[in-house]
Amino acid sequence: MRAFMTTWLGAMLLLFGTLAHANLTIEITRGSDRATPIAVVPFAEDGQSLPEDVAEVISDNLERSGYFEPLPRSAMFNRPATGEEVSFGEWRALDVRYLVVGRVAREGDGYRVRYELLDVSGGRRMLGETVTASSGELRGGAHYISDQIFEAITGIRGAFATRIAYVTARGVGDDMQFGLYVADADGRNGQQVLSSREPILSPAWSPDGRKLAYVSFETERPAIYIQELATGQRVRATSFEGINGAPAWSPDGRKLAMTLSKDGQPEIYVMDVGARSFERITNNSSIDTEPAWSPDGRSLLFTSDRSGGPQLYRHDMSSGQVERLTFTGNYNARGRFAPDGEAIFLIHRSSNGYQVARQDLESGRLVVLSESRWDESPSVAPNGTMVIFATQAGNSGVLSAVSADGRASYRLPSAQGDVREPAWSPFLN
Amino acid sequence: MQFKSHARTLAIALSLAFVAGCSSTGGTQDGTVDRSRDGAAGTGVAGTGQVSGTGMGTNGQRAGQQVDGRIPEVRTIYFDFDRDNIRSEFESVLIAHARYLRSNPNARVVLQGHTDERGTREYNMALGERRARSVERFLGVQGVSPSQLEIVSYGEERPAVRGHNDEAYAQNRRVVFAY
């Protein structure tokens, strides 16, 4: 019996090993026409070869943002490693506005990365810093450097060192397999955090980036769970009869807005996570769902079909007043606020299908950002520059991202099954 | 292969326990559980660590109910786009289930509501529930006790058929009787 158990434990670990890692690769689908030319020179390497090409990770990050157009390596005549080695005239001739140079050296078990950001037209150094990274964190170090460069040039905090959660699905009908994953924002280092033969949906990051709330049907009924990512410990937050869906953390992390249909039809509730008490927000005979908190925590955005079809509404938490926000077209749903609270991102149906759109709250103007017919689940980067969403490519679901102005986009295809329901983490550092 | 299926369930359960932090309790604590509504008493929720591998037969193939009479064979009815009304061609199916449930008061059925893939997932969860409620109302009018019925909406999460075309969508907009 013991041998049997050991064998199965071994088999299980193998199974787990193959399931637990997943990478999404990135294809740039549209470059921005307003991108700033930059050159990220391959970093000099001291000693043996490195597991990551740090300059390439930085260059890819900057390009993906839509704000930058990196110079191809083949166009670089020289490969300086420090600012002192740079001759600015040479880079001006290549129409490069900014230059990144650096050097990576092994230090103990990890790495020491020295980098500099140079303003080519002004002929001056903007940043110079030495970063240390432990042995498995060289890529994370490159994301950190990308964040510093992005902020120094654009004035906007970088969001490269963030993560995404997403759901995978394979199979059809009663024979399906679902997975919940967390990966770096560039799709790498995917780790499985839950596997089930029953549906998993609506992952939502806690504001401190340590927990995910999500809906799982693992008991053959929907329930909302809260899982701590570092330990895997989780609690079942709600399992009322009917829908337990669409969890959304309040900005202070103390409350979860959600959809419950325990009283007959789907309504928005706010749960005090610590006290386990519930406040009912909506009360009518129509569908109310997909709540999202405003960044200041003072209002809830939600989808309701009280006017016939689904439209977005805002509920003021102190006055209780409800205001309809969307009027363009007859299907607007699953809204999310931009981090500055001045716009919302949503799914808008037009004659072209279901697409990601941005609506400016002051003007009410709605702009479609994505191009496919089956786009869903937009989730905004914590710095507001990009929106990640689920779409279809070929016959499978993939993740895609578009800049908040719609000018740049990229796709994260997966080798295995459908990928959907992306949730962009908050800032993690 | 009974053995294989057990082994698989064990493997998945163990891997989940592993994911759940290698804790000896499996990591799941019961939170707020409220199933006080009619028809829910006694169904409860599967307990701690009960994850995956239990979902077979949700399409009504679980024919293990030892009650008098036979469960009607047609256990899926279909809906028009964006609608939750019962199509007249399926009324006879519902009447047959109503007759079965009335003559077998201990029989219980889960009405599983489904939508096609178009639209947002949580909104579709609500639409799937609306379809299942429409069936529940019909059965109620036919004299079926509410205590025999439970509603679970799967939204667009469990399509019967894959594909982004009208034929696939038509087969996915459905309510399934799961006894």
Encode pLDDT of A383-402 as tens digits.
999 999 999 988 889 999 99
Residue B66: pLDDT band (50, 70, 90) is: very low
Choose one of B14, B39, B54: the last residue of a domain: B54
- Asked if B34 lies within 8 A of A246 by C-beta distance, the reply is no
Q: What is the CATH number of the domain that holds B161?
A: 3.30.1330.60
**Does B95 score more than 60 pLDDT?**
yes
Task: Using an 8 Å CB-CB cutoff, list chain A residues near B52.
Answer: 195-198, 218
Distance of residue B142 Cα from the nearest chain A Cα, in angstroms: 20
Q: Using one digit for the tens of pLDDT, what is the confidence trace for A240-293? A: 999 999 999 999 999 999 999 999 999 999 999 999 999 999 999 999 999 999
> Is B41's Cβ below 8 Å from some Cβ in A?
no
Mean per-residue pLDDT, A136-153: 96
| Whether residue B96 sits in one domain with residue B48 | no
Q: Residue B35 pLDDT > 80, yes or no?
A: no
pLDDT band at A173 (very low <50, low <70, confident <90, very high): confident
CA-to-CA dists, residue A321 to A45, A290, A297, A331, angstroms: 60, 18, 15, 22
Whether residues B50 and B62 fall in one domain: no
* pLDDT for res A419: 95
Contact A239 B159 (CB under 8 A): no
* pLDDT at B29 exceeding the cut of 50: no
Q: Is residue B26 domain-shared with residue B5, that is, in the same domain?
A: yes
When comparing pLDDT for A325 and B23, which is higher? A325
Domains of chain A (ranges, CATH numbers): 27-154 (3.40.50.10070), 163-424 (2.120.10.30)
B41 shares its domain with B84: no
Whether residues B93 and B177 share a domain: the answer is: yes
Name which of B29, B57, B126 is nearest A236 (Cβ-Cβ).
B29
Domain boundary among B54, B70, B97: B54
Could you give the ipTM of this predicted complex?
0.91
CB of B71 within 8 Å of a chain A CB? The answer is no
pLDDT in tens, A57-104: 999 999 999 999 999 999 999 999 999 999 999 999 999 999 999 999
Q: Residues of B numbered 8-27 whose beta carbons fall under 8 angstroms of chain A's beta carbons: which are they?
A: 10-12, 14-16, 18-23, 27
Mean pLDDT of chain B: 74
pLDDT value of residue A14: 37
B36-55 residue pLDDT tens: 333 322 333 333 333 433 33
B130 touches chain A (CB under 8 A): yes
Tell me the residue range of the domain where B81 lies. 56-179
* Whether residues B94 and B111 fall in one domain: yes
A363, containing H or E segment: none
Q: Which of the two residues, A30 and A343, has the higher pLDDT score? A: A343
**pLDDT band at residue A424 under the 50/70/90 scheme:** very high
A54-64 and A138-154 helices, crossing angle to 10°: 40
Question: Looking at CA atoms only, how far is residue B160 from chain A in angstroms?
Answer: 4
Q: Are residues B168 and B89 in the same domain?
A: yes
Boundary-marking domain end, from B16, B35, B54: B54
Residues B67 and B154 in one domain: yes
The Cα of A164 is separated from the nearest Cα of chain B by a number of Å equal to 18
Tally of domains within chain B: 2
Give pairs for A171-180: CB < 8 Å, separation 24+: A172/B159, A172/B160, A172/B161, A172/B162, A173/B59, A173/B158, A173/B159, A173/B160, A173/B161, A174/B55, A174/B56, A174/B57, A174/B58, A174/B59, A174/B158, A176/B158, A177/A417, A179/A19, A180/A212, A180/A214
CB contact (8 A) between residue B150 and residue A241: yes
Q: Measured between CB atoms, which of A9, A223, A243 is closest to B14? A: A9
Are B79 and B126 in the same domain?
Answer: yes
One domain for residues B73 and B129: yes
Average pLDDT on A139-153 reads: 97
> CA-to-CA distance for A337 and A68, rounded, in angstroms?
25
d(CA A337, CA A298): 12
Same domain flag for B50 and B89? no
Q: Write down the pLDDT at residue B50.
A: 35
- The yes-or-no verdict on residue A139 having pLDDT over 80 is yes
Cβ of A217 within 8 Å of Cβ of B154? The answer is yes
Looking at the partner chain, which of B27, B31, B151 has a beta carbon nearest the beta carbon of A239?
Answer: B31
* Residue B12 banded pLDDT, cuts 50, 70, 90: very low
Nearest-by-Cβ selection for A202 from B32, B50, B122:
B122
Chain A interface, best mutation among B158, B161, B169, B172, by max A CB count within 10 A: B158
**pLDDT beyond 90 at A332:** yes
Q: What is the pLDDT of residue B65?
A: 44
* Same-domain check for residues B46 and B68: no
The pLDDT mean for chain A works out to: 92
Minimal CA–CA distance to B26: which of B15, B42, B39, B11? B15
